[in-house]
Structure 1
Amino acid sequence: MSEAFESYERQYCEISASLSRKCTSAAQLDGEKKKQRVSEIKSGIEDAEALIRKMDLEARSLQPSVKAALLAKMREYKSDLNNLKSEVKKLTSANLNQATREELLEAGMADTLAVSADQKGRLLMSTERLNQSSDRIRESRRTMLETEELGVSILQDLHQQRQSLLHANNTLHGVDDNIGKSRKILSAMSKRMDRNKWMIGCIIAVLVVAIIVILYFKLAH
């Protein structure tokens, strides 16, 4: 395994454990202390996301045999991070609901008779719009991160394809060299066979002439 991946993994595990503890403690807090703790947790989640992106880049740059195991780990870490995000969302939602209730109570205490149903409706609509805006911002940020991860993955795949093409090109050059050597060997063998044919033909011709001469002398006498 890559030393860089192990370093990122240790850092992520430490941050994840710390965030889990902070989420548990934040649920017991209220008011400004809870808001401050939630802000710390969100900052820690951003650091964790950065480490996951680094681990993903490092894992995709390794050999396929190692890469598969590391990517499986990455899926577990991403699932863990999504769980932490869900916890933060619950805490944020609880804070927002509590703040809305407090605002309504304060408004009621200030002037109970002056608060009308229309004003309450506008306050609820404003709160709903605020929630929707926050959701859209989070969704846009998530989409941006996913797009970035996809771009990194595509670049890694293109790099691997380029390496494969270069390796195939080198292999073809080696095959061409071997074919050239084989042609030279076959040409040399062909020349030897031609020489051997001529030699055998000459020997046969000499033997035939010798036989004819011998028969001539025998028949002549």
Structure 2
Amino acid sequence: MSEVFESYERQYCELSANLSKKTSSVSYLDGEQQKQKISEVRGGLDEAEALIRKMDLEARGLQPNIKAVLLAKLREYKSDLNNLKNEVKRIASMNLNQAARDELLEAGMADTLTASANQRDRLLMSTERLNNSGNRISESRKVMLETEELGVSLLQDLHQQRQSLLHANNTLHGVDDNISRSKRVITSISRRMSRNKWIIGAIISVLVLVILLILYFKLAK
């Protein structure tokens, strides 16, 4: 067997064992540590693949019986290396999926917080509108009460004015009645005075006639 092949084989076995340990420990890491460890493992995988290519070139230059044995080993090494690659891909994919889930969760939380903030703003605006509406209703009610009080006051004033007008009307009717009675009394007095004038005139005439008669009889004697 070729010493060069054995040297490459020894390096590969050590590197493969180291990569297997690192791959096993990657699952227990998270975040940046896991990413760093996966990067180291991928670098080791590239180095292991380079060693397998060197062993393949070395084996193909040897005698057929030795080459067949070495190529059989290389197939095992290649299968082992592919298994390591698949394991690293699986872990990296899980890491990406977890990161994607975290991003989705963060985005969902952000959307939830944004929705909550928007909902809170809408509630505050609705509450403010309700408060403004309540204030307007209170002001309208206050104006309505003031208007009602003013209307009641006006009705009371109108009622008092109506009472005053009715009283004045009654007073005028009373004055009119008094004037009518006074006119009747004056008319009656005037009629009596006229009648008394005629009576007095008649009495005076009778007295003058009597005096004349008395004087005539006296002179005739």
> How does the TM-score come out when normalised to structure 2?
0.50
Matches within 5 A, 1:68-217: 68-112=68-112
Question: Which secondary structure state, in structure 1, belongs to the residue aligned with residue 28 of structure 2?
Answer: coil
| Amino acid in structure 1 at the alignment position of 2:32 | E
| Amino acid in structure 1 at the alignment position of 2:99 | A
Superposed displacement of residue 57, structure 1: 0.1
Q: Note the residue ranges of structure 1 that are not aligned, 5 or more in a row.
A: 116-221
| Amino acid in structure 2 at the alignment position of 1:44 | G
* Alignment partner, residue 46 of structure 1: 46
Matches within 5 A, 1:4-43: 4-43=4-43
Aligned Cα RMSD in Å? 1.3
Superposed displacement of residue 40, structure 1: 0.5
Q: List 4+ stretches of structure 1 deviating above 6 A.
A: none
Question: 1:60 aligned to 2:79?
Answer: no
Q: Percent identity, please.
A: 71
| Amino acid in structure 1 at the alignment position of 2:25 | S
Superposed displacement of residue 111, structure 1: 2.7
Q: Which has the larger radius of gyration?
A: 2
Deviations 1:156-200 (A, max 9, x none): xxxxxxxxxxxxxxxxxxxxxxxxxxxxxxxxxxxxxxxxxxxxx
Q: Distance in 2 between matches of 1:65 and 1:54?
A: 19
| Amino acid in structure 1 at the alignment position of 2:76 | E
| Amino acid in structure 1 at the alignment position of 2:107 | A
Superposed displacement of residue 110, structure 1: 2.2
| Amino acid in structure 1 at the alignment position of 2:10 | R
Answer 1 or 2: higher relative contact order, Cα 8 Å, separation at least 6: 1
Q: Distance in 2 between matches of 1:112 and 1:5?
A: 62
| Amino acid in structure 2 at the alignment position of 1:32 | E
Superposed displacement of residue 65, structure 1: 1.5
